[in-house]
Structure formats: C-alpha cells, structure tokens
Amino acid sequence: MNWGIMRHSMFRFGWQMTNKIKYITVISCCMLLAACSRDAEPEVDTPVAATGDNAAVALDEGLSTVNREGIEAHLRFLADDARMGRMTGTPEYDEAAAYVAQHFAEIGLEAGGEDGSWFQAVPMLARRIDVDSATVVFHQDGVEKAQRWKEDFVMGGDVVRAETDITAEVVFVGFGIHAPDMSYSDYDGIDVDGKIVAMFGGAPDSFPHNERAFYSSGLTKAEEAVARGAIGTISLRSRTDQKRYSWKRVSENAGVRPGMSWINLSGEAANFFPELQGGAMINVPPAEQLFSRSPISFEDALDAADAGTPLSTPLGTEVTLARKTDHESITSPNVIGILRGSDPELANEYVVFTAHLDHVGTGVPINDDTIYNGMYDNAMGSSILIETARAFAAMPEPPKRSIIFIALTGEERGLVGSDYYAHYPSVPSESIVANVNLDMPLFLYPLADIIAFGAEHSSLQAVIDDAIAEEGFALLPDPMPEEVIFIRSDQYSFVKQGVPSVFLVPGFTSSDADIDGEKLWRGFLQTYYHQPSDDLTRDIDWPSAVRFARANVRIGHAVAEGADRPTWNEGDFFGEKFAK
C-alpha cells in the first residue's frame, strides 16, 4: 500500500470536511452538560488587568479558582460510562475532545489547533490482527510445535503490511542492548543477520536510571536489532515482568484493541521498521521449550538478566512467525488552547502543559464490566489540565511567557498524539521551553510529597522544588527506576525533541503515618490499572488533589515568569542525546 503525500492530503481534507462539523455539534451538546455539571461552582468575574509587577498577586488570584468542584465536574463527564473508555479514534473520544474544547473556549483561551480551530487532527493507520491467522511454530529436531494463541503467545498486527510470514533461526540477545557508554553489549560476538532475536524487556539493574530508561525503550531496541540485520523479534518475560503482571493480565485483551501509528507528511507510518517482519511475546513455558536445544536454559537466561550479565547465544531452534492484519485510516484530535504571555519578548516562548485524554476503551469483561473508564488514567490528569488553564486565565496579568494547554490523543496507543505534536507543533519548535505532563495522578491517601520524573535532568528541578514547597510538598526522587516511567508517558515525546520536561505524580509518602502510601500506590497498579475498576467508584483524597493541582499551576507559573528558559544540566544524559 502506498502511503504517499496525496493520500495524506486527502486524509486531512476528509477530516476537515466531516470531523469539524461533528466536533461543533458535540461541543454544543457538551456546553449544555457542562453548564449543568458546574452549577455548584460560582462564576469567576473577569479580572481587571493588574498594573506593574504583580505576578505574585496574579498567581494568588489564579490559585483561588482551583477547587474540588471544578475538577470533579470534569471527572464525572470524562470517566462516565457514556464515554466508553475514550478509545482513540472513537465517537466517544471525540465527545471528550469536544468537551475539553468547549471548556477552553469558556475559559477564554485562544484556539491553538488547525485553521483557527481547537483541534490538531492526528492522521493514523490503525491495525488489527486477524487472531485466527496469528502463528508461532517452533521447529526442533524435525518436529513442528504450534504454540497456542493467548495461552502461549500474543502478538500485534503489522504496522502497514496485510500479511507477513517468516521462518528463521532464533538468537537470544539478553536485553537486546548495545550500550558502549555503559561498557555493555548483548550483541558482542553474536551474528543476528537474517535471524529472529529473543530478548527481555527493560535493561540491567546496574545501569544508572537515566541510561536504564533510554535503553529500555522499544524503539531504541528495534533500531539496534535492525542495524544488525534482525528480521523478527520474540519478547521474553523476565522475573521482574512476571512479578509485575501475570500472563493472564498481559494476554486477556490480546487482539481486542487496535494498534495505531501516526502518519507523517510524506505519508509514511512513524516508527515503522520494515526489516522486522514478525514479532511475538511468549509465556514462560514456551520460553523454556524455546531454550531446550540451546547451550543455556531459560533459567540461566533469567539469572543472567537478574545479574545484568550478557549471555547471548544462538538457541538452535527455528521459529515461524506469521500473521494477517487489517488496516484502517483514521484521525483523532489533540485539543490545543493558548494563553498569550504578557511580556512583549518572552510571549514568543511557550510552556506546554499536557495530559492525555484517551484511555483503552472497552475490553474483555471483568466482573461483568466491559468499560475501561480510566478515571485516574487519565480523566483525572485531563480534569486538572482544564482547571490549570482556568487558573491561568483568571490571573489579572498573564505570566510573561505564553502557555499552551494540550489534551493529547493516543497516549495509550504508544504516545501517538504527543509524538505527532512534537514533530509538528503549532508554534515554532525552538520556542517551546518546557513541558509539564500529567498522567494518572493517584490521590489515594493524604499526600506529603510529589515525584517529578525527569526533573533531575534540567534546571526545572530547582523550580519545582520551590514551587511545590508552597503547597506543603517535598520533592521525592524516582522511587522505582525499574519501571523506567520517564520514557512511558507523553513528556518523552518532547524530550526527544530536546525540550526539558517533567512528569508529575503524587509521591509514596502519606502525611498520615498510619497509611502506607507505597503499598496503596503499587496496589492500584496491580488491581485497578487498565481495568474496568479504574472508575468513578475509586476513592479520592480531595484535599490532596486540590493541593496537587495548585502545585501544578505554581510550577508552570514559575517557569513562565523565569528570566531564563530552562536548560539541560551540564553533561546530562538526555540533554546530550537530544538537545538541539
């Protein structure tokens, strides 16, 4: 299939002709709903412009608008069953996008999307695997052993091809990492040209957490495998992966939801590696079988992963990976609002607030519930984003720099909306000075601290430390580097374009000494994350939510008022990788 420029132009023209009408219609409906939902909140009078340097006074007035009622009203709309889990590309996601746009308009922001609209259409190619065609076969000693869908393996569809079918020798390559800066390589002395590479996720525990995050990226691993001639991949589950989520949890929605890739201006699918013609993830029992003809056992491979020691070797087994994939051209919008800065010069620089609006839609029933509402992930972050915008718009004098607020699409599909915006921003890319991202802030207990993933990479750390202290929070270092969270949400799309960025979440410490915050935090991940039970029945510590939202405003205000734009720290790993 030829995804040329003409097709891309038709893609966008079609969206403009049909979707804008649709969004306008939905906005009208949302205005009525929003009016009802906000009856409990008093209207804020339009403030008189401040005179002189009254930044502190303006900030206080903006902060006074942040309250439970505002956040909760948005939450109840976005996480309602009627939104059907806000899957990217669905009418229900479009309703959520229109709702955000309506509130941006009500607040008084300037529309920051295409052609004077609130929306940036993100063209995508959605893919769905034909599960009946999904094939993994081990060829050992002249015997073919077909693996079972979902019991033994899962796989996604090919990004662009309707059908792929490869048979090749499998080579175990540890974590699939080549990191000369860490004096580590899983590829030294191993030939993978024309082979399928089997690898664990993540990176060695011995790596500093910055390097560990970077080298854990699937894109980084795919680039390395392709550079060495690999033609397919098999993902293995380390002991860390097995402890994190059961195979049932990993496989239960396999084949149910589409994968998505954004389409660039040349009409090509982003982050696509045509050299990789097959891929699958396998459960532990088939992994043990896969290693049964190799010089090492799967248990040896697990031990090497735990020790962070390369133990790459051919496995002496050929594997067939085959699949058929259905594709569909879709679009889904980012929602963009802008507040212009007050300084004649600095107004041409932008602080970007982001939160992803999508979730995973519907799926297999859990306790007879098929709607994966995503109340915390990330209706909560989106609700705080709207009220953050309201706080800035209520300030008698805007901060010096301009501020962009973006409700992003496709985060759950692989950071699709943020990656598209970072490549095709609505303002000159060099004018974006910082990104502050919100994703799944959990208010499960009275909060004592905040984690700002990525703060340590730039001058933002000092700004954040001071700003959150005003709300009684301490700044907590990353307490779980093994989760490599810094690369797993939308701020990483901005980091890769050289923008100092942070991802804010509540910390593990409760101000109530009798509450184990970390236990509750990890318990949510085990029980409710990406499940139908992440819904409006979940508990919320509202005083903490309001303080957190106020801290978010303070951080953005401090960056927007600062005399200097944020800078990467001298010698910082990410700064040296990506700074322009």
Phi, psi of 150 (to 5 degrees): 75, -40
Lowest mean pLDDT among 32-36, 136-140, 144-148, 465-469: 32-36
Residue 406 has pLDDT above 70, yes or no: yes
Tell me if 239 sits within 8 A of 290, measured CB to CB.
no
Averaged pLDDT, 37-49 = 38
Look-up: residue for tokens 């060695």? 204
Categorize the per-residue pLDDT at 45 as very low, low, confident or very high, splitting at 50, 70 and 90: very low
- The rounded distance, in Å, linking the Cα atoms of 556 and 464 is 9
Residue 11 phi, psi dihedral angles, 5° rounding: -50, -55
Who contacts 70 (Cβ-Cβ below 8 Å, separation ≥6)? Answer: 38, 41, 386, 387, 390
Q: What is the pLDDT of residue 32?
A: 43
How many other β-carbons are positioned within 10 Å of the β-carbon of residue 26? 19
Structurally, at CATH architecture level, domain 38-108+340-578 sits in 3-Layer(aba) Sandwich (3.40)
Q: What is the DSSP letter of 59?
A: H
How far apart CA 90 and CA 93 sit, in angstroms, is 5
Q: Which residue has the higher pLDDT, 545 or 20?
A: 545
Per-residue pLDDT band for 484 (boundaries 50, 70, 90) equals confident
d(Cα 189, Cα 187) in Å, to the nearest integer?
Answer: 6
Q: Is residue 17's pLDDT more than 70?
A: no
- Residue 38: is its pLDDT beyond 80? no
Q: What is the DSSP letter of 483?
A: G
DSSP string, 355-379: EE--B--EEEEETTEEE---IIIII
**CA separation (Å) from 571 to 220, 319, 394, 559?**
21, 43, 39, 22
Question: Confidence class of residue 22 from pLDDT cuts 50, 70 and 90?
Answer: very low
Average pLDDT over residues 79-102: 98
Quote the percentage of the chain above a pLDDT of 90.
Answer: 88
Residues of the chain with CATH 3.40.630.10: 38-108+340-578
CA distances from 518 to 243, 380, 547 (A): 16, 20, 19
| Res. 44: pLDDT tops 90 | no
β-pair type (163-172, 196-200): parallel
Number of Cβ within 10 Å of residue 475's Cβ equals: 19
Nearby residues of 355 by Cβ (< 8 Å), 6 or more positions away: 378, 381, 382, 384, 385, 406, 407, 408, 437, 438, 439
- Structure-block tokens of residue 559: 């960056």
The CATH classification of domain 127-327, taken from the options 3.40.190.80, 3.50.30.30, 3.50.30.20, 1.10.3720.10: 3.50.30.30
| Residues 110, 87, 334: CA angle, nearest 5 degrees | 20
Q: What is the pLDDT of residue 43?
A: 39
pLDDT band at residue 53 under the 50/70/90 scheme = low
Beta-carbon contacts of residue 529 (< 8 Å; ≥ 6 apart): 377, 440
pLDDT at residue 480 in the model: 85
Average pLDDT of the chain is 92
Q: Per-residue DSSP letters for 397-437? A: S--SSEEEEEEES-GGGTSHHHHHHHHS-SS-GGGEEEEEE
Instruction: Say whether pLDDT at 27 is over 60.
Output: no
User: Rounded to whole angstroms, how far apart are CA atoms 422 and 411?
Assistant: 13
With a CB cutoff of 8 Å and minimum separation 6, the contacts of 509 are 447, 448, 449, 474, 476, 517
Q: State percent of the chain over pLDDT 70.
A: 91
Strands (E), 283-401: 313-339, 350-356, 362-366, 369-371
pLDDT digit string, tens, across residues 282-327: 999 999 999 999 999 999 999 999 999 999 999 999 999 999 999 9
Q: What is the mean pLDDT of residues 479-484?
A: 83
pLDDT confidence tier of residue 481, bands split at 50, 70 and 90: confident
Which pTM value belongs to this model?
A: 0.91
Q: What is the DSSP code string of 115-161?
A: GGSSEEEEEEEEEEE-TTT-EEEEEETTEEEEPPBTTTEE----SS-
Residue spans in the chain of domains classed CATH 3.50.30.30: 127-327
* Residues 175-218 pLDDT 10s: 999 999 999 999 999 999 999 999 999 999 999 988 999 999 99
300 Rama class: left (phi>0) / alpha (psi -120 to 50) / beta: alpha
